[in-house]
Structure 1
Amino acid sequence: MKTKLIMVFLLYVIILNHLHATAQNHKDLDRDYVKKDSILWNEYEKRMDSIVRNIADTQKRKADLIANLDETNRKNKELAISFKNTIGGIERIFMTRAQFTKTELKNVLESTSLRVRKTSAFKAIQDHLNIDQIKIGNLWPEHLTIVDTANLPIRLKKNITNIIIYNGSGMSDCMGESNRSELNKLAKDAQFSSRAKIYLFYNTENINTLKNINAKFNDHLEYISDLTGDYSNFKIATGSQAVPTVYIFNSDGKLEAIQLGVEDLITKWQNN
């Protein structure tokens, strides 16, 4: 009996040591990914600064900036795939999902660990794979339940242009003070208001957070969310990655255009 107890105890110790070693290995891999990701983007920033400082020719400078971004995005994708079994790696794959074909994403998911399959990012990629993202010419997705700061469902206004700006997290204002100010002027303009409406979409989990974001900026824009958090249904349905991304629905409720940034939007409406 005593020998059996000793054997059980030793087995217990071995299991604990194995679990501890596995957990430590996960932590090491997570840290390694974060370190390499940081190095990648720091080098990107340095090259960008060097190009801007040292290349006077406008066309050459623009071409080199684009080439630097493309090369960094390629390396970013490869790095995320190689660290797909880390938390940071799978989150990055979701963030850059538009750079993958759905077949590529499916293959990545099939080779991930049980630990990663429990993450929100893994589930969000699955959701991305299981639906067709909104494309030009599609009607407003009625299956999405999106609410305003009064927690009331919104519906696109009929017979006018509806402009939904995906602005991601409310912790920072990715549009910048100047762009937000110009959008606010548009929203207050009587002529514009009769022809179009601006909504700002945020990834929030509760209505109070959405209200706090609205109160922070205290403007005339309408704040909306589907209250499903960082991996929002709207974000997945639209394929939104960059912030801000502008979705323009025409008077028939069809998606007319998708553009990055709000500068072109402001220019267009101020000149008409």
Structure 2
Amino acid sequence: MKTKLIMVFLLYVIILNHLHATAQNHKDLDRDYVKKDSILWNEYEKRMDSIVRNIADRQKRKADLIANLDETNRKNKELAISFKNTIGGIERIFMTRAQFTKTELKNVLESTSLRVRKTSAFKAIQDHLNIDQIKIGNLWPEHLTIVDTANLPIRLKKNITNIIIYNGSGMSDCMGESNRSELNKLAKDAQFSSRAKIYLFYNTENINTLKNINAKFNDHLAYTSDLTGDYSKFKIAMGSQAIPTVYIFNSDGKLEAIQLGVEDIITKWQNK
């Protein structure tokens, strides 16, 4: 009996040590990915600064900046795949999902660990695989509901242009103060309002957070969310990544254009 108890105790110790070693290994891998990811993007920024400082020719500078971004995106994708079994790695794969084919993403998911399969990022990639992302010419996705600050569902207005701007979490205003001011001027203009409506979409789970963002800027723009957080259904269905991304639905309710940045729509509507 005593020998049996000793064996059970030793087995218990072995299991505890194994669990501790596994947890420590996970932490080490997570830290290693964060370190390498940071180095990658620091190098990108240094090269970008060097290009801007040292290349006077505009076309050459633009070409080199694009080449720098393309090369960094390639390395970023490879790094995330090699660390797919870390929290940071799978989150980065979701963030850059547009750079993967759906077959590539499916292969990534099938080769991940149980720990990663429990994450929100993993589940969001599954949702991305199971949903057809919106394309030019499509109507608003029927399964997608967004609400205003009163938590009331929004329906796109008929017979006018509906402009939806994906603006991330709202922690920072990537549109810039000047662009936001110009959008607000448009939204206040009666002639514009008879022809178009501007909505700002934010990732949040809490209606009060949306209200606070609205109160912070206190302008005439319409603040919206689907209240599903960072891995929002809107983000997945619309293929949203960079901010701000602009979705323009024409008067027939069909998606007419997807644009990065708000400058083009400001210029277009100011000149109408």
Runs of 4+ with deviation above 2 angstroms: none
Unaligned stretches of 5+ residues in structure 2? none
CA shift for structure 1 position 171: 1.3
CA shift for structure 1 position 142: 2.3
Unaligned stretches of 5+ residues in structure 1? none
SS of corresponding position for 1:128: helix
Q: Quick check: 240-249 or 166-175, which moved more? A: 166-175
CA shift for structure 1 position 127: 0.2
SS of corresponding position for 2:140: coil
CA shift for structure 1 position 206: 1.4
Distance 1:4 1:142 in 2: 63
SS of corresponding position for 2:241: coil
Distance 1:82 1:10 in 2: 36
Q: Who is 1:271 aligned against?
A: 271
Distance 2:123 2:233 in 1: 12
Question: What is the CA deviation profile of residues 103-126 of structure 1, one whole-angstrom value per residue up to 9, with x for unaligned ones?
Answer: 000000000000000000000000
Distance 1:14 1:170 in 2: 47
Distance 1:95 1:269 in 2: 31
Question: What is the CA deviation profile of residues 163-184 of structure 1, one whole-angstrom value per residue up to 9, with x for unaligned ones?
Answer: 0000011111111111111111
CA shift for structure 1 position 42: 0.2
CA shift for structure 1 position 55: 0.5
| TM-score, length-scaled by structure 2 | 0.99
Question: What is the CA deviation profile of residues 120-150 of structure 1, one whole-angstrom value per residue up to 9, with x for unaligned ones?
Answer: 0000000000010000000011221110001
SS of corresponding position for 1:171: coil
Question: What is the CA deviation profile of residues 171-201 of structure 1, one whole-angstrom value per residue up to 9, with x for unaligned ones?
Answer: 1111111111111111001111110000000
SS of corresponding position for 1:197: strand
Question: What is the CA deviation profile of residues 212-236 of structure 1, one whole-angstrom value per residue up to 9, with x for unaligned ones?
Answer: 1101111110000000000000000
Q: Quick check: 253-262 or 165-174, which moved more? A: 165-174
Q: Who is 2:117 aligned against?
A: 117
Distance 1:58 1:184 in 2: 32
SS of corresponding position for 2:235: helix
Distance 1:145 1:158 in 2: 17
Q: Who is 2:148 aligned against?
A: 148
Q: Who is 1:192 aligned against?
A: 192
Distance 1:24 1:171 in 2: 32
Aligned length: 272
SS of corresponding position for 1:169: coil
Distance 1:98 1:126 in 2: 14
Distance 1:220 1:89 in 2: 39
Distance 2:119 2:135 in 1: 28
SS of corresponding position for 2:4: helix
SS of corresponding position for 1:174: coil
SS of corresponding position for 1:247: strand
Distance 2:265 2:168 in 1: 18
Distance 1:179 1:29 in 2: 41
